[in-house]
Chain A
Amino acid sequence: MEDEYFIASDLKRALEAEQVTVVGPVGSVADALRLIDHDGVDIAMLDVNLGTAMCFPVAERLRELGVPFMFLTGYDDWALPDVFRDVPLLPKPFVVGDVLAAVRRLSDSETVQ
């Protein structure tokens, strides 16, 4: 989930180049929740600030479902609510290599679960 089209599009390209199936991106909380409930996701990357809303309802839903996720954000972690302090964080602007490494770690943690 990422509201900024060019960032979303770059991420999608980079992930698809690594044979990751991307079901997003989506730019809104409503679209993200629909995607989670209808299509199902294995792991998720969430942009924290969606311009006019924050991604936290989506993070809560993913947590309920036990889906591993990470935040993609321009914020330092102190700007996040306490309950999400333990969520992995990839700071913007990011390097594609870091994104892929983080996705790998997330999918490993999913396998363990």
Chain B
Amino acid sequence: MRAEAHDETDLLATLARKNAVLQAINRIFHEALGATTEEALGRLCLAVAEDVTGASFSFMAELNPARDKLHDLAISDRAWATFNRDWAGEAPLAVPSHLELHGLYARVIFDEASVIANHPADHPDSIGTPHGHPQLESFLGVPLHRKGKVIGVLGLGNRAGGFREIDQLAVEELAPAIVQALCSKRDELALRESEQIRRVSMSLVPAMLWRTDAHGRNRVSNGQWELVTGMTDDGQTSDWLKAVHPDDRERTTTALRRSYATGEAMELQFRVRGREGQYRWYLCRKVRVGDIAGSGEQWFGAATDVHDMHLLEERQRRLVAELQHRVRNILTVVRSVFARTVEAGGALEDAADHFRGRLDALARTQAIVTQTASGMVDLENLIRDELLSVGVADGAALTIDGPDVQLPPRTAEAIGLAVHELAINAVKYGALKMAKASLDIRWTTDMDCGDGPRVHLIWVERGVPAVAISPERQGFGTELIREALPYQYGADTHLTFMGGGVRCSISLPLHEEGKTH
């Protein structure tokens, strides 16, 4: 009877233990879902193991890949509470790592077997406890296995009355569940991290990224399409084509169909309408990827905004064309000016002088035109520069007077060339040569002309004795003022050689558009 009673007690105790372990396992897997870190899950498992065994504190550690050190996975909440109480202000803030493989817990790993030490100080492997560690009265260490290998140890301390065999059995039964929960949590966290990295990377990449099935349906994207176009994509229909420029739609659908039919990668540029209604160029690439995890053939697509590149290319093309135009035009003009200068006759030295002067004047006006492509040229500065170029500075005989006028580049070009011709003439034959002669340069602006505002410039020489008109004076300068300015710049000009000197009036539009007539 006694034996039976003993068996019955054992049976009941075993049943109770099995039941407690099952409940403990259930609790681990149930609560594991909510744990956000391995360490939190570790503390949960330790709390369960403490509850099952009645231990006062516990820890769990894992072998490093080299299997020569231990890293603590977790220290139980009760252990932390003891630490913080006994070792106030000095307790470590995080679980320790790089623990040497020695002491009672290392014995568990070396022997790949559980160890119960109810008098730990007397145990041959005892190394004592580190500073701050609660006094160790009893110890139960259970190895943690994974795929037939020891990967770590679970250590429990201080059960009232010491640890029993059934405590060891309970923890050994619990151990695989703990390892399983930890590994799952680790995989789950790694997956979540890689998913997060993927998500963040995809949202950071300045590109539309998407994935579809073999028919272009079931699209999943990184949301850039919605951001750019303001359209929602249902992932099923071809409604997205409505945001593609009408001129690009047909070749886009043709290219898409061809690539789905042949399975070949696609690369295409087309314009997409943004949420503000403006179109921008996109470079679109699409590749086929074979079966992924049984979900069938898939296509991955990416589209990047290449609009600025298009604009730059276009701008570069225009600039090169403009440069060609200017260079070739100016060469043609230079040749024409040269021919006219030579035709006027005179000594070679004189012709060379004239030509050089005109070339310099052309160069100055070209510089002005290109330097002020978007800006304006001050009329008074322009006149003074031209006079200076022929060696004329301020003097009593010279009057320069008029309101502040800012000339558009082409008007400045015309006035610059004309003033150069007038100045050269005055230096050689007119008011800037004669001692008692004077030169008045005055201008006004007229804002109420029919064709828009104009500037009126008057050049009057006085006190120049009548001289025979030099053939040169009827040459280039005269043609420039009488013919070229009206033809090319829409000017009204009057040029006379009266007694007393040259009189010239030039009226020019102040707007670029007013050039033609």
A interface residues with partner B (beta carbon < 8 Å): 3-10, 25, 27-31, 48-49, 51-53, 73-76, 79, 91-94
**Is A74 a contact partner of B327 (Cβ separation < 8 A)?**
yes
Q: Is the CB of B328 within 8 A of A93?
A: yes
Shortest CB-to-CB span from B389 to chain A, Å, is 21
Proximity string of chain B (297-336) to chain A, C-beta cutoff 8 Å, 1 when within and 0 when not: 0000000000000000000010011101111110111011
Q: Does B241 lie at the interface of the complex (its beta carbon under 8 Å from any beta carbon of A)? A: no
Q: Which of B321-368 contact A (CB under 8 A)?
A: 321-322, 324-329, 331-333, 335-337, 339-340
Contacts of B513 in A (CB 8 A): 52
Q: B residues within 8 A CB of A31? A: 516-517
Counting residue pairs across A and B whose Cβ atoms lie within 8 Å, the total is: 76
> Helix, strand, loop or mixed for chain B's interface?
helix
Q: Which of A10, A29, A53, A92 contacts B339 (CB 8 A)?
A: A10
Closest 8 CB pairs of A and B: A74-B328, A28-B516, A5-B484, A6-B336, A92-B328, A79-B321, A74-B325, A93-B332
Instruction: Tell me the minimal C-beta distance from B513 to chain A in angstroms.
Output: 7
A-side contacts of B336, CB under 8 Å: 6-7, 9-10
Nearest A residue to B483, CB-CB: A5
> A7 — nearest CB in chain B belongs to which residue?
B332
Complex contacts, A28 vs chain B, CB 8 Å: 515-517
- Contact with B324, one of A8, A53, A75, A94 (Cβ below 8 angstroms): A75
Q: Is the CB of A93 within 8 A of B324?
A: no
Q: Are A3 and B512 in contact (CB under 8 A)?
A: no
- Could you list 14 examples of A-B contacts with CB < 8 Å? A3-B488, A4-B488, A5-B483, A5-B484, A5-B487, A9-B336, A9-B483, A9-B484, A10-B336, A28-B515, A49-B329, A52-B516, A74-B325, A79-B321
Residue of B nearest to A53 (CB): B516
- Find out whether the CB atom of A27 lies under 8 angstroms from the CB atom of B329: no
Considering residues B329, B331, B517, which has the most beta carbons from chain A within 10 angstroms of its beta carbon?
B329
- Specify which of B320, B328, B340, B516 lies most central, judged by the most chain A CB atoms within 10 Å of its CB: B516
Does B410 sit within 8 A of A, measured CB to CB? yes
Tell me the complex Cα distance, A6–B335, Å.
9
List 7 other contacts, CB 8 Å, given A6-B336, A93-B335: A4-B488, A5-B488, A9-B336, A9-B479, A30-B516, A52-B512, A79-B320
Range class of the B interface residue count:
20 to 34
B340, closest chain A residue (CB): A6
Q: B487 touching A92 by the CB < 8 A rule? A: no
The residues of B with any CB-CB pair to A shorter than 8 Å are 317, 320-322, 324-329, 331-333, 335-337, 339-340, 410, 479, 483-484, 487-488, 512-513, 515-517
Q: Is the CB of A94 within 8 A of B332?
A: yes
Check if B487 sits within 8 Å of A74, measured CB to CB: no
* A74 touching B516, Cβ below 8 Å: no
B516 touching A7 by the CB < 8 A rule? no
A6–B337 CB distance below 8 A: yes
Is there an interface contact between A92 and B483, defined as CB atoms closer than 8 Å?
no
Given A10-B339, A51-B410, do A79 and B328 touch, yes or no (CB 8 Å)? Answer: no
Residues of A within 8 A of B328 (CB): 73-74, 91-93
Q: Which B residues are CB-close (under 8 A) to A92? A: 328-329, 331-332
- A36 to B57: give the CA distance in the assembly, Å: 106
The answer to whether A4 touches B332, judged by C-beta atoms less than 8 angstroms apart, is yes
Contact B331 A93 (CB under 8 A): yes
- CA–CA, A31 and B515, complex, Å: 12
- Residues of chain A contacted by B340 (CB below 8 angstroms): 6
Q: With A and B bound together, what is the CA distance between A42 and B336 in angstroms?
A: 26
In the assembled complex, which residues on chain B have CB atoms less than 8 Å from the CB atom of A6?
332-333, 336-337, 340, 484
Query: Assuming A27-B487, A30-B516, is B333 touching A7 (CB within 8 A)?
Result: yes
Across the interface, B515 reaches (CB within 8 A) one of A8, A52, A74, A76, namely A52
Complex: A60 Cα to B487 Cα, angstroms: 24
Q: Give the distance in Å from the alpha carbon of A46 to the alpha carbon of B507 in the complex.
A: 28
Cα–Cα, bound, A53→B516 (Å): 10
Which among A9, A30, A91 has the highest number of chain B CB atoms within 10 Å? A9
Q: Which residues from B are CB-within-8-Å of A27?
A: 487-488, 516
B337 / chain A contacts, CB cutoff of 8 Å: 6
Residue from the set A6, A28, A52, A53 with the largest chain B CB neighbour count within 10 Å: A6
Contacts of A4 in B (CB 8 A): 329, 332-333, 488
